[in-house]
């Protein structure tokens, strides 16, 4: 009676040893580091490392160690002073071709890293960094979608030789005017089949000029807004990756907002500039068939639009867009050999390359313009209240004659300087935002505050842990010591599992661990009290131990399963900190069930099993 088979004892020992190994990296802390990541055309190699070491030596910066891989170069330093000086030196030398970011690198020994044992990530509230709450301009997303649809309708009508007078966008509606009713009825039939997500109807009031009204369906409108939110999240993730930020948090909040947390970021102005930027490019043909002076005087022809040039003056462009920033898959900045001016080398995707190829083949010798588009958001005081004012800046940065046929790869010039070229290349690589975003909330957590949170969080876990240990040891004597050992093992397993999952630990996560520490002994209290009742009823010590564990199991299971269900619901419906709390609580429940029931039973069996005993120290 009360004896485990050998395999169960071996299993417990293996679990404890593995848990100890994978929890160990969290004791080694982090080193101040500089992370160097290549842009598209750059490489990371030994030559680059040697060059950086030479420049650091020249700047009297002491390098602790370096780690070289294909994707990045990690340079470790003994203190933040050397880290900051090194970052400035490396940025000056490599800024054109590399992303240089401050980081905190785990100081885990090589033998632990060989076992894939790494510490937990620390969240924004523990590590310091910046928190943004971004609002997606859904009205702009809807407007952009309607404008694109109007262009598609124009092209479809031309391809099907359905003559129309005009296609205009007005108040979330597309109005298509025709010369006669026959063409209107043909267009209604064909457009309804081609554009199934739109609702077409005739304008009954207007009998002189037959008109079709096109409205976006409610289902399509919801899809447009959902796409805008998801595409913006993807684009922001790409931009953060370009910044070289480790363990960022980018997630949806509600139906139009995005939370961005960048732990360890110290250059918050740069992060804000890149995240909020909405710069992109459009390529248009110059309208050479109509008079520029007539357009400037107010007679702008249909199908064309007047743009301001960056270097002064105006130019008349065709509204039809050849390609946009959404079709750019790669971009890198550089210097043009002939003029020495800043330029961006652009690579298009398949559909974009085909459109550019068709355009350049059919328009060789004609001018093509590059339009730089940027959404700007400023806060102005109107009637004593702060009002967010949005403006769209559209300016032609380059007009060049198409000298020959090209498709997927070409260069864009006309930028002010190398810094603008680098930023534009970064934004184009990351992708254009599907809709403008506004930063509605910004919070910065300093490293000192983060360290204070870590210290206080650790103290809260330690105090709660020690108080529970003392209470159990005094109240339940030997059995209380068994519970204490199980509790310590439980804490080790929680940290090990969080480390294996590479979860991000936040203050709510620490709260979940503290709660688990208090709850972990509940199962043992139920078991020990049941054993005491069995002893009072006159049962033998061995029978009381057996009955205590068996009869208390259903109560323990009920209590923990209901708590686990609540934690799963919190994880499913919560965001950010709530998820962190739910994860640590869920893991703690599972590990406490294992250690409290199986772990303490193994210790009791080893101490009292298969022996004739008359009393229990409980």
> What pLDDT shows up at residue 402?
84
**Count of other CB atoms within 10 angstroms of residue 571:** 16
Helix (H) or strand (E) holding 560: helix 541-573
| Domain 30-106 CATH (choose: 3.90.1150.10, 3.30.70.260, 1.10.760.10, 3.40.50.11900) | 3.30.70.260
Least Cα distance to 409 among 476, 454, 345 occurs for 345
Encode pLDDT of 512-561 as tens digits. Answer: 888 887 778 888 888 888 888 888 888 888 888 888 888 888 888 888 88
Position 96 pLDDT exceeds 80: no
Per CATH, domain 138-221 is 3.30.1370: yes
Helix (H) or strand (E) holding 112: helix 110-113
Domain ranges for the chain: 6-25+446-608, 30-106, 138-221, 224-444
> What pLDDT shows up at residue 315?
92
Q: Which residue has the higher pLDDT, 134 or 389?
A: 134
Indicate the average pLDDT of the chain: 82
Give the least confident one: 11-20, 95-104, 498-507: 95-104
Q: Which residue has the higher pLDDT, 493 or 392?
A: 493
Encode pLDDT of 338-364 as tens digits. Answer: 677 777 788 888 888 888 898 888 888
Whole-angstrom Cα distance, residue 26 to residue 394?
A: 51
Task: Give the pLDDT mean for 3-30.
Answer: 88
User: One fold for both 6-25+446-608 and 224-444?
Assistant: no
Unique residue bearing structure tokens 């910044």 = 243
Q: Which two tokens stand for residue 543?
A: 């029978």
Position 103 pLDDT exceeds 80: no
Strand-pairing partners, residue 260, are 132, 250
> What pLDDT shows up at residue 306?
92
CATH superfamily name and code, 6-25+446-608:
Multidrug efflux transporter AcrB transmembrane domain (1.20.1640.10)
Unique residue bearing structure tokens 């900190």 = 577
Position 263 pLDDT exceeds 60: yes
Give the least confident one: 1-15, 36-50, 483-497: 36-50
Encode pLDDT of 110-130 as tens digits. Answer: 899 888 888 887 777 777 778
Position 448 pLDDT exceeds 70: no
Quick one: pLDDT band at residue 492, thresholds 50, 70, 90? very high
Encode pLDDT of 166-183 as tens digits. Answer: 888 877 788 888 888 888
> What pLDDT shows up at residue 575?
67
What long-range pairs does 473-481 form, CB within 8 A, spacing at least 24?
A: 476/524, 476/528, 476/618, 477/617, 477/618, 478/607, 478/616, 478/617, 478/618, 479/524, 479/528, 479/531, 479/600, 479/604, 479/616, 479/617, 479/618, 480/528
Position 428 pLDDT exceeds 70: no
Task: Give the pLDDT mean for 377-396.
Answer: 66
Position 40 pLDDT exceeds 60: no
Cα 34 from chain centroid?
Answer: 21
Quick one: pLDDT band at residue 316, thresholds 50, 70, 90? very high
Quick one: pLDDT band at residue 14, thresholds 50, 70, 90? very high
Give the least confident one: 290-299, 415-424, 500-509, 572-581: 415-424
| Domain 224-444 CATH (choose: 3.40.50.150, 3.30.70.1230, 3.30.1360.200, 3.30.300.30) | 3.30.1360.200
> What pLDDT shows up at residue 264?
67
């Amino acid at each position: 009676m009360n004896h485990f088979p050998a395999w169960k004892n071996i299993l417990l020992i293996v679990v404890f040893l593995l848990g100890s190994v994978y929890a160990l990296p969290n004791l080694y802390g982090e080193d101040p580091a500089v992370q160097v990541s290549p842009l598209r055309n750059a490489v990371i190699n030994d030559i680059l490392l040697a060059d950086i070491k030479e420049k650091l030596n020249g700047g009297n910066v002491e390098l602790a160690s370096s780690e070289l891989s294909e994707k990045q170069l990690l340079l470790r330093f003994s203190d933040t002073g050397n880290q900051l000086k090194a970052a400035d030196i490396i940025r000056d030398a490599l800024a054109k071709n590399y992303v240089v970011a401050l980081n905190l690198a785990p100081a885990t020994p090589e033998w632990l890293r060989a076992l894939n044992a790494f510490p937990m990530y620390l969240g924004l509230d523990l590590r310091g960094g910046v928190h943004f709450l971004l609002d997606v301009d859904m009205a702009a997303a809807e407007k952009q979608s309607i404008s694109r649809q109007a262009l598609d309708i124009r092209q479809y009508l031309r391809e099907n030789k359905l003559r129309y007078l005009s296609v205009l966008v007005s108040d979330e509606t597309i109005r298509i005017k025709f010369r006669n009713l026959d063409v209107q009825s043909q267009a209604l039939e064909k457009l309804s089949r081609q554009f199934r997500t739109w609702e077409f109807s005739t304008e009954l009031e207007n009998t002189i000029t037959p008109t079709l009204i096109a409205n976006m369906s409610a289902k399509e409108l919801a899809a447009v807004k959902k796409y805008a939110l998801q595409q913006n999240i993807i684009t922001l993730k790409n931009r953060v990756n370009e910044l070289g930020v480790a363990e960022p948090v980018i997630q949806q909040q509600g139906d139009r907002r995005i939370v961005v947390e960048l732990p360890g970021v110290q250059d918050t102005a740069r992060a804000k500039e890149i995240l909020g930027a909405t710069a992109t490019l459009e390529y248009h043909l110059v309208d050479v068939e109509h008079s520029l002076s007539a357009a400037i005087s107010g007679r702008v022809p249909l199908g064309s639009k007047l743009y301001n040039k960056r270097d002064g003056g105006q130019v008349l462009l065709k509204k039809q867009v050849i390609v946009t920033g959404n079709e750019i898959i790669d971009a890198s900045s550089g210097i043009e050999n002939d003029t020495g001016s800043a330029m961006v080398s652009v690579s298009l995707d398949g559909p974009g390359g085909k459109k550019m190829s068709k355009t350049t083949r059919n328009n060789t010798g004609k001018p093509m313009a590059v339009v730089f588009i940027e959404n700007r958001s400023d806060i102005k005081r109107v009637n004593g209240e702060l009002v967010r004012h949005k403006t769209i800046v559209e300016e032609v940065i380059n007009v060049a004659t198409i000298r020959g046929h090209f498709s997927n790869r070409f260069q864009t010039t006309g930028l002010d300087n190398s810094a603008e070229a680098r930023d534009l290349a970064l934004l184009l690589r990351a992708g254009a935002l599907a809709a403008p975003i506004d930063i509605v909330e910004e919070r910065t957590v300093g490293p000192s505050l983060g360290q204070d949170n870590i210290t206080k969080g650790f103290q809260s876990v330690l105090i709660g842990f020690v108080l529970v240990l003392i209470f159990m040891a005094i109240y339940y004597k030997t059995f209380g010591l068994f519970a204490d050992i199980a509790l310590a093992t439980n804490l080790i397993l929680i940290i090990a599992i969080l480390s294996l999952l590479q979860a991000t630990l936040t203050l709510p996560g620490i709260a979940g661990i503290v709660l688990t520490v208090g709850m972990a002994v509940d199962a043992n209290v139920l078991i020990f009290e049941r054993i005491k009742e069995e002893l009072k009823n006159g049962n033998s010590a061995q029978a009381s131990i057996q009955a205590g564990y068996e009869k208390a199991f259903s109560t323990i299971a009920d209590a923990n399963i209901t708590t686990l269900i609540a934690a799963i619901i919190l994880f499913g419906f919560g965001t950010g900190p709530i998820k962190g709390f739910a994860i640590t609580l869920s893991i703690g429940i599972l590990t406490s069930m294992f250690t409290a029931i199986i772990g303490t039973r193994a210790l009791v069996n080893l101490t009292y099993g298969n022996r004739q005993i008359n009393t229990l120290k409980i």
